[in-house]
Chains A and B, each alone.
Chain A
Amino acid sequence: MFELLGITPQALVSQLLIGLINGSFYALLSLGLAVIFGLLNVINFTHGAQYMLGAMVAWLGLTQIGDWIGVPGFQLNYFVVLILAPLLVGLFSMLIEKTMLKRLYHLDHLYGLLLTFGLALVIEGMFRHWFGALGNSYPVPELLQGGLRAGELFLPYYRLWVVFLALIVCFATWYFIERTNLGSLLRAGTENPRLLQALGINVPLIVTLTYGAGCALAAFAGVMAAPIYQVTAVMGSNLIIVVFAVVVIGGMGSIAGAIVTGLGLGVVEGLTKVFYPQASSVSIFIIMIIVLLIKPAGLFGKAN
């Protein structure tokens, strides 16, 4: 059978794994978007820029910060920024929510979309101006260099680490929102914020924290992506459209949907890259069209 397809079983397995790795990025990014949309009803187009900010913080922390604070040689290593970057980007995003996004909640979705899209352009433009269009290279942390080799198959340890970490974070987020008390408060807030407020819950604070957390997830994905992709100002804008397609296929606002479709579509895209590579950038959108025709609310979405 494999001979018919013109590919060895080993090669197919390695391609499936590569697809799964890309899928875990899609899952992590679409998860953040789904959380923000599901709980805030905001279509967050700044997500790609926040992903880029995460990667930028990682790069700045490794190469620039020493000079900035006047202690050459001082570095923030990968594992430190893996925690620090999401925190910083989360705080920055909460500032955006408090000062700008908050004013648009009573308006149509479209206004939030326009604001976040504009912000993304501004942030990316500034970083391109400061750090150039070609971007910079971020090395794979020493601890995770090298890889497993089994015949033709070569799997870098770093990629395995990415899948492992992404799955843990995805599961933890899902568990937190769907299975804990605090998560149920969040969900109640989207159903009926007034009633929740009447029960003495500070709803605006919850909303701000949720937005911050969703964006922190993007930054977390950004730090994980830094050693794999080139760290450039536009790294997020290349990815964001695909991630939106993932969210639409999974069902807007569905957290489990975002995770499962993210992983699944990574694999589908990976296989397209083997059998008909020219179509690899459109395969996800073809699936999106088919899904929307058959099930307009998405695979895991609830029809209103």
Chain B
Amino acid sequence: MKKTLIATAVASCLMVATIPAHAQTVSDNEVRIGVLTDLSGIYSAIEGPGAVLAAQMAAKDFGGQVLGKKIVITSADTQSKADLSSSKAREMFEKDKVDMIVGNVSTASALAAMEVAEQFKRVSIVNGAASLQITNEKCTPYSIHYVYDTYALSRGTGKAVVDSGKKTWFFVTADYAFGHTLERDTTEVIVANGGKVLGGVKHPINTTDFSSFMAQAQASKAEVIGLANAGGDTIGSVKQAAELGIMGSKQTVVPLLMFTSDIQALGLKQTAGMTFTEGWYWDFNDANRKFADRFMKEFKGKAPTSVQAGVYSATMQYLKAVEATKTDNSDAVMKQLKSVEINDGLFKGKIRADGKFEHDMYLLEVKSPGESKGPNDVAKVAKVIAAKDATLPLSQSKCKLVTN
């Protein structure tokens, strides 16, 4: 009897505790979105301050409020470091009462923030980070991978290059998990499409001089030199390949992860004709151009990167989901986000059960200096890669949300 009483008391207390959470539509009377990104470090050009602007633009375009509550955008700098990402995410959830974090460039930082978001049961949308792990082994019920992943990069670029008749490859790979995965995935694609890998070299991250590796790649006589690295390492590889006279020879340099901002930093002279895969390109259609024009006006004339456009679109979709479900409760919002078809002009597709946003990808070709009409006009879309070809089939996913 006594036990039942206590049990009832506990149960009623719990009910009291849970009722407000359901009754209250929006927590803290505001919908708060935190842009957790690299504002000053190595990946700040890819996501960074441009992502904060993109989120602010989305909030403004939404009318500044949702369900009659104000939309507040805050930001924090992770410098692409996992420990900072984790502590800043915690600070955002605890102190700033943020309902959703968006941004998350660099895989290690993104995974760290996703873990904290899962603990707090808040939504985390990953834009800048590349690894397939985000929606595979490391997926969480509250995370979404929005713009691209390593699977899309290897399928997109790898297949297109082999199909164009260039069958033999040599890899220059960054010697850590990301590089190894990218090389492995791309090798699978090459072999499956009748190509062959002649060899490769693994270099330490943040190498200054790549000429030695490029000379080895040159000596291998492979038709394609595949770069399974990122950021400064990719820039260094391309620059020194050009110096050794590889550009314009029979060999082609193919960066597997590259952003339009990297091309701008290198200049078109050294990169003309190179192909790479992106999740979005500003000069692809009118809707993209219209968004890019508005963005450029506020961002010193710089066109948005795919990742920055992704932050705009993701913020917009989140706000729409809050409006539709009439709450900022993460479980409800996630359910809504995974159930609707997304088509906002910039991105079109569907968020799957594992959190992967399945949408078309684009194979871009860098323009020659003669073709380019301005500093932002760096590439043209050579091919649209269908969403299903660029995404790991759900049946092969190791994500705990779909395997159980």
A residues with CB within 8 A of B? 8, 11, 14-15, 18-19, 21-22, 125, 128-129, 132-137, 139-140, 147, 149, 152, 154, 156, 158-159, 228-230, 232, 234-235, 238-239, 270, 273-274, 277-282
Chain B contacts of A19 at CB under 8 A?
212
Alpha-carbon gap, A280 to B203, bound state (A): 8
- Determine if B206 is an interface residue (Cβ-Cβ < 8 Å): yes
Chain B contacts of A273 at CB under 8 A?
201, 203, 212-213, 216
Alpha-carbon gap, A132 to B50, bound state (A): 12
CB distance from A285 to the nearest CB of B (A): 12
Set A22, A147, A228, A238: member contacting B245, Cβ < 8 A: A147
In contact, A158 and B232 (Cβ under 8 angstroms): no
**Assuming the A-B contacts A18-B211, A137-B265, A137-B267, are A278 and B232 also in contact, with contact meaning beta carbons closer than 8 angstroms in the complex?**
no
Chain A contacts of B332 at CB under 8 A?
none
In contact, B41 and A133 (Cβ under 8 angstroms): yes
21 chain-A/chain-B pairs, Cβ below 8 angstroms: A14-B215, A15-B212, A15-B215, A19-B212, A133-B41, A133-B44, A134-B231, A137-B239, A137-B265, A137-B266, A139-B267, A139-B269, A156-B245, A232-B232, A235-B208, A238-B206, A239-B208, A270-B212, A277-B203, A277-B212, A278-B202
In contact, B215 and A134 (Cβ under 8 angstroms): no
| Closest residue of B by beta carbon distance from A8 | B219
In contact, A230 and B216 (Cβ under 8 angstroms): no
In contact, A228 and B240 (Cβ under 8 angstroms): yes
In contact, B42 and A274 (Cβ under 8 angstroms): no
| Closest residue of A by beta carbon distance from B215 | A14
Chain A contacts of B175 at CB under 8 A?
277-278
Alpha-carbon gap, A274 to B212, bound state (A): 7
Chain A contacts of B245 at CB under 8 A?
147, 149, 154, 156
| Closest residue of A by beta carbon distance from B206 | A238
| Closest residue of A by beta carbon distance from B271 | A137
- Determine if B207 is an interface residue (Cβ-Cβ < 8 Å): yes
Alpha-carbon gap, A279 to B202, bound state (A): 9
CB distance from A80 to the nearest CB of B (A): 21
Chain A contacts of B219 at CB under 8 A?
8, 11, 152
Set B204, B243, B266: member contacting A281, Cβ < 8 A: B204
Instruction: Name which of A132, A134, A147, A235 has the most chain B CB atoms within 10 A of its CB.
Output: A134
- Determine if B236 is an interface residue (Cβ-Cβ < 8 Å): yes
In contact, B204 and A11 (Cβ under 8 angstroms): no
Alpha-carbon gap, A19 to B209, bound state (A): 10
- Determine if B43 is an interface residue (Cβ-Cβ < 8 Å): yes
Chain B contacts of A282 at CB under 8 A?
204
Alpha-carbon gap, A144 to B206, bound state (A): 27
**Assuming the A-B contacts A18-B212, A229-B209, A232-B232, are A156 and B244 also in contact, with contact meaning beta carbons closer than 8 angstroms in the complex?**
yes
In contact, A154 and B211 (Cβ under 8 angstroms): no
CB-CB contacts below 8 Å: B221-255 with A: 231-232, 235-236, 239-240, 243-245
Alpha-carbon gap, A63 to B39, bound state (A): 25
**Assuming the A-B contacts A133-B41, A136-B265, A229-B208, are A152 and B218 also in contact, with contact meaning beta carbons closer than 8 angstroms in the complex?**
yes
Q: Name 13 extra pairs, CB < 8 A, besides A228-B239, A229-B209, A238-B206.
A: A18-B209, A133-B44, A134-B45, A147-B244, A152-B219, A158-B243, A159-B211, A228-B209, A234-B42, A235-B208, A274-B216, A277-B213, A280-B204
In contact, A230 and B204 (Cβ under 8 angstroms): no
Alpha-carbon gap, A239 to B207, bound state (A): 10
In contact, A154 and B244 (Cβ under 8 angstroms): yes
- Determine if B317 is an interface residue (Cβ-Cβ < 8 Å): no
Chain A contacts of B235 at CB under 8 A?
134-135, 230
In contact, B218 and A229 (Cβ under 8 angstroms): no
Instruction: Name which of B206, B208, B235 has the most chain A CB atoms within 10 A of its CB.
Output: B208
CB distance from A239 to the nearest CB of B (A): 6
Instruction: Name which of B45, B203, B207, B215 has the most chain A CB atoms within 10 A of its CB.
Output: B215
- Determine if B261 is an interface residue (Cβ-Cβ < 8 Å): yes
CB distance from B378 to the nearest CB of A (A): 13
**Assuming the A-B contacts A18-B215, A273-B212, A280-B207, are A140 and B243 also in contact, with contact meaning beta carbons closer than 8 angstroms in the complex?**
yes
CB-CB contacts below 8 Å: B6-62 with A: 40-45
Alpha-carbon gap, A230 to B242, bound state (A): 12
Set A11, A14, A22: member contacting B209, Cβ < 8 A: A22
In contact, B40 and A128 (Cβ under 8 angstroms): yes
In contact, A228 and B40 (Cβ under 8 angstroms): no
Chain A contacts of B43 at CB under 8 A?
133
In contact, A230 and B40 (Cβ under 8 angstroms): no
CB distance from B365 to the nearest CB of A (A): 19
In contact, B243 and A228 (Cβ under 8 angstroms): yes
